[in-house]
Structure 1
Amino acid sequence: IFLPHSQNRDIFRAVIVEKCDDLAAHQFLNFDRRSAPVEVQAQAAALIHSAARKRANMRIELLPALTDNYMYLLIDVDSKEAAVVDPVEPIKVVEAVRKHGVKLTTILTTHHHWDHASGNEKMVKLMPGLKVYGGDDRVDAITKKVSHSHNFKLGSLNVKCLFTPCHTTGHICYYVTKENSTEPPAVFTGDTMFVAGCGKFFEGTAEQMYKALIEILGRLPPETRVYCGHEYTVSNLKFARHVEPNNEVIQKKLAWAKEKCSNGEPTIPSTLADEFTFNPFMRVKEKSVQDHVKQTDPIETMRSLRKEKDGFRVPKE
């Protein structure tokens, strides 16, 4: 690509390397600049603008809370507007907001249980004017009750509410996307889906959990990143191994998760594609899982798995 001054070429090189993916950068930097027509220069400028716009994306900060909970700070990089998911420890949230220099406008509550929603009242007092989303009148400080497929914006991010009752009757998962983004979408699943597991059926049925996991969450793009409410991965994978002892993916994932936890690192996020390979509650159509519980129907398999998991004693290793 022809640029009249060496300084401009250096700037151009730096911008290309910074803003474009490796393949695109090499393609442009290896181009015969002396013979490049004006149109190519214009295309290069457009690519830089497009790449910069696409890289501006969502940012998700994991905020550990209580014993094994996760809160999440969801940041729209474009506008610096942010939401917090299940802020059970408000002071930690406020510190994170200040650290990252963002404007917190929204609380996303997955369900009403105290370890997810009990910080809402204090958050609203600490930061007046916050919008509090939830799917249940029992959610503390709720200002906006949402239902399935309700959509709203967080800066330039799109947030879609997914109604997933079972763990509680008003459980909501939040699916977040950004137009023209190269990054995968994210879903905050609360206590509906965990890495390699699902929540207890406190207020629902196997039919409801099947719909939530397989027909709603399971139909999101496979690359979707899953941000769940608790760090239960190791114990969940031990149950998964019990269900499918010959599943090598489970064995490898368990070894990985043990190492992560021993280093004090989170095992979050997962992806939906991965969950279908090692999460028994996502694998209720698989013969190996059905054989374990002596069922042939996926919903009955879900029911039997949950009953067995509720009484499962996690082996110490």
Structure 2
Amino acid sequence: MRSITTVAFIGLGVMGYPMAGHLAKQGLTTRVYNRTASKAEAWAKAFGGTAHSTPAEAAEGADLVLVCVGNDDDVRQVTTGPDGALSTMMSGSYLVDHTTASADLALELDAACREKGVAFIDAPVSGGQQGAENGALTIMCGGEQNHFDTVAPFLNHYARAVTLMGTASSGQLTKMVNQICIAGLVQGLAEGLHFAEQAGLDQHQVIDVISKGAAGSWQMENRHKTMIANEYNHGFAVDWMRKDLGICLEQARRLNATLPVTALVDQFYADVQRMEGGRWDTSSLLKRLRKPE
């Protein structure tokens, strides 16, 4: 396999933009592509890399290509579609997909990469925009050990933890577990804050007390203040969470795994969407419990 000096980053959303920036700051030659070209140009101006008009152009000559887009179809478009990255990637190079996508897609990409002599790692992330900006993401990976060992040092530029979970698709399956757990945690936090409010308790004081015990969580620590303030215009959007939970529930059906709470919370997020809150962050589950203002 190739040594890595030139990287391409495809997808400069709220996550990809800072992630690509961390790579450029390490002195790597960084080539970028984004569907909205002006964003790629702005990134290149800010970080000194180069913006390209297609994924294929960005991937040409790159030793490592990283993808962070929206869903399965978006990944296919920028990798195996017309002008996709795989059309110009060289044998011995590496493709890493950071998109939260299906396990089926990971296996599909792994097969496509093998035909080209390209190493593939599915590597969904957790930690949100704040984690991406601070270089503190958690990355769960699926692929071969030797390929992982080569790319992990580069992923560490924007992560606090990078772990190989197994063969291709294991990263995506692990991310499903992550989203299943988050759904229940956020709903529980929303109900707890709603109960405290209805009981006339000081919600901030309640959280200060219970966060130090068994009820504590990342969601509680990082989201309770904005939830209490009824502010939901930051973080991971409800629309994206429903996409992720749809992937989880479909995979669960195949595995004969029972996810009653996840299915229920998915419907609660559908309620939030009907409240025109699709772009609110996932902690907006509290808003559907409160009386209309």
TM-score range, shorter chain: 0.3 to 0.5
Structure possessing the higher relative contact order (Cα contacts under 8 Å, 6 or more residues apart): 2
TM-score by length of 1: 0.34
Structure with a larger share of its residues in strand: 1
Higher relative helix content? 2
Normalising by structure 2, report the TM-score.
0.36
Which has more radius of gyration?
1
